[in-house]
Amino acid sequence: MKIFKTKKQLFVFYLLLFFVANLLQSAYTELIDDEAYYWWWSKNLDWGYFDHPPMVALWIKIGQYFFEGELGVRFFSAFMFNFTLILVWLLIDIKSKWEYINHFFLLITAVILFNFYGFITVPDTPLFFFAALFLYAYKRFLNIQKFKTALFLGFAMAGMLYSKYHGLLIIFFVLLSHLSLLKKRYFWISGLFAFVLFIPHLLWQYDNGFPSVVYHLNRSKKLYRIAFSLNHFLNQIIIVGLAFPVIYYAFFKNSFKDKFFKALLFILLGFIGFFFMSSFKTSTQLQWTSIIVIPLIVVSFPYIINHPKIRKWFVYLAIPNLIVLLYFRIALADEGVSIFKWETHQNKEWIQDLRENSEGLPIVFHNSFQNASKYRFYTGIETYSYNSIYYRKNQFDLYNIEDALQGKTIYEVSNFKTGRFMFNKRKKVYSGSKIKNYTSYQHLKCLVKESLLDFKDKKTYNLVFKLINPYDKAIPVSKLKFYSVFQTKKHKITGYSQLKNIAVKGLKEGNLLAPNSEYEVGVTIEIPKNLDKTTTTFRIGISIYDFPAGFEGNPIKIIF
């Protein structure tokens, strides 16, 4: 007796099975660090954020209308994952696919990374849905070019761009596969519609000084190591899982004469090639090319089911892969069975330890937007990430959260200094110290007008810069320490010392910087001896208390 009378019932059963499994996983797995960061974004919905477009925050916000806690953060991801699966299924255009539904869902589980986007809520999660929607719209557009299909395609484009900037690469590689699209007016209509929908985000970027553009163009530049490139190609195997030999083989056996399949080929080769080039600047991350799994599934599935020997080998590899996937999913939620320590482990332990030692007071974390976000998620206590020159800017630099902490008693927490108490977070030691009447001024600006400074054959250098106080309150200069920071092109700090002979012209009584004011400041820079030859820039940073200097100064090219 058959349990399912029709193939569609079997398909719906698998969808429900995935949905229930993802809901359970969502509810019983602690957040990864970045999820907490994006959750914090969702508390302040906007048209953009420092690191990524806003779609991930919207998805979390929607989920929180239904549930609280981890399930609220992930509910909408689990819900929309099923629609992603449906779209991928619709992209496979062969009638015989209904006879191999079991193999399709086995293929879905074989592509390991794809499954984690069924509950983990990161920018790639909505990107997967909108990429599948875009490919579905593009397939329809190739057959029917009308105003409605053009708007549909444009909407999907905008959805990808609002999810992650990688969406621009998908559009580019599809266009590159079919350049004659540029001659079709309906394609231009779709592009114009996408642009109009994306205008609010572009205006947000403009209003905030294009922080995402600056960040992504300058992020994590490192001295090249061959391991970066080797790791990049290893990632393309890990993305797919144990069945990678069969899946890649089946993919490349296609002739790619069809325009749609040609687009899928360009996406796969384009992403692998683009981020291979990126590996010469930095170590690439697994998720950067994860979108290639959609082309891999759509192209390889027909070949697998139409070739019995390949289909048999696929099953041999996919079943142990499924066992590995099930283990990883259980291990994410249950530390007791895990052989590794994950971001989803021990969060509540270190957070409770910190809460007790810090008397439940607000926390200022040094250089950790993830810790600040995760502590806020699990405690509801006000937190802030104080980002120094040894770290990087993030959303905490855009929000005026520091205003809510001014004048309060707080605890500063870091992993590079000793404090009143200490605690461990996954083998990393942190310490905390109380600060009464806390004040910070990270929005001060130290602007040097020169574009190039010549330090050649000099031990000291007298410099004048503009000090801007954007706050609506007076600031005592005595609380500020000015530092010179020398860096390489790849942001490594090669020199760091306190500036001397500070002279601020036109100060108010009591050496106060007036609210919303500008001053001319003269300082003496001591040029470090034996400065690293890779040094390329100089900037000024301001320190309060004994915190490291921040990003107050603009980087200036130097000769030495």
Do 63 and 83 sit in the same domain of this protein?
A: yes
Higher-pLDDT residue of 445 and 533 is 445
* Residue 492 token pair: 């490594």
Single-letter amino acid code for the residue at 223 = L
Number of Cβ within a 10 Å radius of residue 54: 23
Structure confidence at residue 220 (pLDDT): 61
- 149 and 249 fall within a common domain: yes
- Find the Cα–Cα–Cα–Cα dihedral 286, 292, 296, 299, rounded to 10°: 180
Domain-embedded: residue 340: no
Residues 489 and 544 in one domain: yes
Mean pLDDT of 119-133: 97
Judgement on whether residues 405 and 449 belong to the same structural domain of the protein: no
Does one domain contain both 124 and 198?
yes
Residue 129 lies in a domain: yes
Cα–Cα distance for residue pair 62/82, rounded to 1 Å: 16
Is 342 a member of any domain? no
| Of 109, 115, 119, 120, the residue nearest 323 (C-alpha) | 109
The residue segments making up the domain with residue 352 are: 347-435
Q: Which of 75-79, 216-220, 425-429, 446-450 is least confident?
A: 216-220
Does residue 341 fall inside a structural domain?
no
pLDDT > 80? residue 419: no
80 and 11 housed in the same domain: yes
Residues 126 and 262 in one domain: yes
Query: Is 538 inside a domain boundary?
Result: yes
Asked if residue 1 belongs to a domain, the reply is no
Given 413, 435, 457, which residue is the final one in a domain? Answer: 435
Q: Which of 185-194, 287-296, 381-390, 410-419 has the lowest mean pLDDT?
A: 410-419
pLDDT above 80: residue 418: no
Final residue belonging to a domain, choices 380, 410, 435 = 435
Looking at mean pLDDT, say which of 56-65, 341-350, 474-483 comes out highest.
56-65
What is the rounded average pLDDT of the residues 177-183?
Answer: 95
Residue 281 lies in a domain: yes
For 292-308, how does the pLDDT look when each residue is reduced to its tens digit (9 = 90+)?
999 999 999 999 999 99
Question: Angle of helix 33-42 relative to helix 69-91, nearest 10 degrees?
Answer: 100
- Residue 247 CB-density burial (10 A; 0-12 exposed, 13-18 middle, 19+ buried): buried
Interatomic CA distance for residues 486 and 495, integer angstroms = 5
Counting the structural domains of the chain, the total is 3
Query: In this predicted model, what pLDDT tens digit does every residue of 323-362 receive, in sequence order?
Result: 999 999 999 999 889 888 889 998 999 999 999 999 999 9
- My answer on whether 154 and 272 are in the same domain is yes
**What is the pLDDT, as a whole number, of residue 257?**
87
Whether 302 is in a domain gets the answer: yes
Exposure class string for 60-98: b at 16+ Cβ within 10 A, else e = bbbbbeebeebbbbbbbbbbbbbebbebbbebbeeeebe
The whole-angstrom separation of Cα 94 and Cα 104 is 13
User: Of 421, 404, 403, which Cα lies nearest the Cα of 412?
Assistant: 421
How much of the chain exceeds pLDDT 70, in percent?
98
Q: Are residues 474 and 371 in the same domain?
A: no
Give mean pLDDT, residues 271-282.
Answer: 89
Q: What is the DSSP string of 171-200?
A: HHHHHHH-GGGGG-HHHHHHHHHHHHHHHH
Q: Is the pLDDT of residue 221 over 70?
A: no
Two tokens at 138?
Answer: 């593009």
Beta carbons of 401 and 342 less than 8 angstroms apart: no
Do 423 and 368 sit in the same domain of this protein?
A: yes
Output the average pLDDT for the chain: 91
pLDDT at 188: 97
Answer yes or no: are the C-beta atoms of 128 and 164 closer than 8 Å. no
465: domain CATH number is: 2.60.40
Do the Cβ atoms of 399 and 385 come closer than 8 Å?
A: no
Q: Please give the structure tokens belonging to residue 31.
A: 């957040």
Q: What integer pLDDT is reported at residue 1 of this predicted model?
A: 46
pLDDT(501) > 90: no
On whether both 249 and 267 belong to a single domain, the answer is yes
Whether the predicted pLDDT of 493 surpasses 50: yes
Do residues 421 and 451 share a domain?
A: no
d(Cα 418, Cα 429) in Å, to the nearest integer? 10
**Cβ–Cβ under 8 Å, residues 258 and 143:** no
- pTM recorded for the entire structure: 0.92
Total residues found in the chain within this entry: 560
> What tens digit of pLDDT does each residue of 229-259 get?
898 899 899 999 899 999 999 999 998 889 9
Provide the pLDDT for residue 222.
66
Domain boundary among 409, 435, 461: 435
